[in-house]
Chain A
Amino acid sequence: MIVGERKPFSEILSMVEGDSKILILGCGSCVTVCMAGGEEEVKILGSQLRMAFRRNGNNAEVTELVALRQCDDEYLEDTPLIEKVKDADIVISMACGVGVQHASTFFNRVIDDKTIRVVPALNTTFMGANIDVGEWHERCLGCGDCVLEKTGGICPITRCAKSLLNGPCGGSFNGKCEVNKDTDCAWHLIIERLEALGELDNLKKIEMYKDWRPSHSGGPRKTVREDMKI
């Protein structure tokens, strides 16, 4: 899933200074699961804003809402929601960067009598897995050409700090990465897993230069499924 972290309050506050009608819009998907931008976090941000406004003698109005998903029109096409957005001076989206952009595009398409400002409350950090209570780790960079079948299901592009494709660098020590002693060396994990799988021969083959075109290096990507189009 997509993992995010909420921005510091002062940064969010500075985005809405001068606005008198503020709508906080949470997202019910990934960022709810990683406890960064779901219903709970919307409530917390709402209270923080109200408290700060009260302290400053500002009587701005703060409204709280959650859409199940901000990255899909289907969940934004909701008349009461659109009315609230129309009424607001600014929308603080608590979705990931995808949701923020999509909500902004969507609202500006369906609302034609004013331009809607949508600002982010989160820093979107990575695509990762829930490893422990309250702990998420990055797992995939979306390189567009998956190599996991050769590396025992552990991604060297994402989990090796140097995205090496042919084994561990000289900094791998005690199973940890030279860049951060709290992070496992991806190649150490790969070697252990390949050994367990009886696939150590994979390591012998030189993995050739990666074609980065399917990755972000090739420019922004899109997927078009002709078979799904009506």
Chain B
Amino acid sequence: MKSGSNLERLLERGEFVVTGELGPPKGPDANVVKEKAAMLKDHVDAVNITDNQSATVRMSSIAACKILIDEGLEPTMQMVARDRNRIAMMADLFGATALGIKNMLCLSGDHQIFGNHPEAKNVFDIDSIQMIHMVKTMRDEHKVICEDEIEGEFTMYIGAACNPFADPAWYRPHRLAKKVEAGVDFIQTQCIYDMNRFRAFMKQVVDMGLHEKCKILAGVTPLKSIGMARYMAANVSGIIIPDDMINRLRDAGKGNVAAEGIKILCEQMQELKDIEGVAGIHLMAIEWEHRVPEIMKMAGFLPRPTV
């Protein structure tokens, strides 16, 4: 066992897992985290806590993770390379383990230009692949980067992201291979709409045998409205929303778009389950935490397996 987290145990047992996501509030109110956590509890196997997502200041991931643990959920702490140098990262990782956090996700992070403090200085001391290597070295060799011994036991189940639709497309499985070589345990992908392109990506991944070296969770996000679909397609790198999906939303008619979006999502979740190499789903509801129970029920993923 790497950290003995529920996520790790379920994945190792071969269960098809579903992870959720929770964006901490833009302020210190623990109740906001607790309310969102209550909606996700028992409906997903672990919950990613974002780290100042979109470079907008929010409650720290580590603090929100601790609130989740106290509420009886298992968090996955996201950590971006934008805001911390290696010293701060390793210190936070010690703190995370001390607080009972057992999963983490290594990310480069959105550039600060997209957030609410574009005038900030960024860090980018190490990149996401080096971060994976750093956490693995800490866990498996009990050493920090400088080779000093770590006092006590440091455990962590190490995750990272992957955008199968970014360019250059042919290089993306190779970048994933590099994350595997650096020591990643699980991968969560960018949200998928173009299932054909994702299938082609997974075929390459399977041909390279990468699915046997790390667990790959396919990312999905419900389309809440036609406006959101258009916005995502135009502004989020690599997001291609097939025309027939947009047409289905439009044909659903006023008042039924959100329901149709959920229906599309549930169909996707079912399809993803059958794609070779996909070990689970990462459901990013993005401020729709309250609809996760109905999504999970409709998609036929309830009840969740127990560890």
- Chain A at the B interface: SS class: loop
Partner of B190, one of A166, A170, A179, A209: A170
Contact residues, B201-217 vs A (CB, 8 A): none
Point out the residues of chain A lying under 8 angstroms from B238, CB to CB. Answer: 170-171, 173
Q: Is A178 a contact partner of B237 (Cβ separation < 8 A)?
A: yes
B132 to chain A, nearest CB (A): 9
Q: Is B178 a contact partner of A171 (Cβ separation < 8 A)?
A: no
Query: How would residues 171 to 209 of chain A score, 1 for a CB under 8 Å from any chain B CB and 0 otherwise?
Result: 111110011000001001001100000000001101111
A190 to chain B, nearest CB (A): 10
Q: Is B130 a contact partner of A208 (Cβ separation < 8 A)?
A: yes
Q: Is B252 in contact with chain A by the CB < 8 A criterion?
A: no
Q: Is B125 a contact partner of A212 (Cβ separation < 8 A)?
A: yes
Q: Is A162 in contact with chain B by the CB < 8 A criterion?
A: yes
A86 to chain B, nearest CB (A): 40
Closest to B170 in A: A191
Closest to B239 in A: A173
Give the size category of B's interface with A.
35 or more
Closest to B122 in A: A162
Q: Is B127 in contact with chain A by the CB < 8 A criterion?
A: yes
Partner of B86, one of A165, A167, A209: A209
Point out the residues of chain B lying under 8 angstroms from A173, CB to CB. Answer: 166-167, 237-238
Q: Could you list which residues of chain B lie within 8 angstroms of chain A, going by C-beta atoms?
A: 81-82, 86, 108-111, 113, 122, 124-130, 133-134, 145, 161-163, 166-168, 171, 174-175, 177-178, 181-182, 190, 237-238
Closest 3 pairs between A and B when the two form their complex, measured CB to CB: A170-B163, A166-B129, A171-B237
Given pairs A171-B237, A175-B167, A210-B126, 20 additional interface contacts (CB within 8 A): A162-B81, A162-B122, A162-B127, A163-B124, A163-B127, A165-B130, A168-B166, A169-B166, A170-B237, A172-B168, A172-B237, A173-B166, A203-B171, A203-B178, A206-B130, A206-B133, A208-B133, A209-B86, A209-B145, A210-B125
Q: Could you list which residues of chain A lie within 8 angstroms of chain B, going by C-beta atoms?
A: 161-175, 178-179, 185, 188, 191-192, 203-204, 206-210, 212
